[in-house]
Amino acid sequence: MNAMILAAGRGERMRPLTDHCPKPLLTAGGQTLLDWHLQRLKAAGFKRIIVNIAWLGEHIRAHLAHHTPAGVEVVISDEGETGLETAGGIINALPLLGDAPFLVINADIWTDFDLQSLPAEPEGLAHLVLVDNPSHHPRGDFSLREGRVSLEDDGGSLTFAGIGCYRPELFVGSTAGVSPLAPLLRRAIARSQVTGQHHHGRWYDIGTPARLAALDAELSRD
pLDDT tens for 73-92 read: 999 999 998 899 999 999 99
The answer to whether the bond into 16 is cis (omega within 30° of 0) is yes
Residue 155 has pLDDT above 70, yes or no: no
- Work out whether strand 48-53 and strand 2-6 pair parallel, antiparallel, or are unpaired: parallel
What are 174's strand-pairing partners? none
Q: What is the pTM of this model?
A: 0.95
Tell me, what CATH number does 217's domain have?
A: 3.90.550.10
CB 199 within 8 Å of CB 111: yes
The residue among 200, 159, 170, 181 whose CA lies nearest residue 84 is 181
Per DSSP, the three-state class of 186 is helix
210-219: pLDDT as tens digits: 999 999 999 9
152 pLDDT band (50/70/90 cuts)?
confident
pLDDT of residue 154: 65
Mean pLDDT of all residues in 108-137 = 96
195 pLDDT band (50/70/90 cuts)?
very high
pLDDT of residue 149: 96
99 pLDDT band (50/70/90 cuts)?
very high
Mean pLDDT of all residues in 134-142 = 92
pLDDT of residue 221: 86
pLDDT of residue 222: 78
Q: What total of structural domains would you count in the chain?
A: 1
22-55: pLDDT as tens digits: 999 999 999 999 999 999 999 999 999 999 999 9
44: containing domain: 2-221
**What percentage of residues in the chain have a pLDDT greater than 70?**
99
Hey, how many other C-beta atoms are within 10 angstroms of the C-beta on 67? 15
9-22: pLDDT as tens digits: 988 888 999 999 99
For the chain, counts of helices (H) and of strands (E): 5, 13
201-212: pLDDT as tens digits: 999 999 999 999
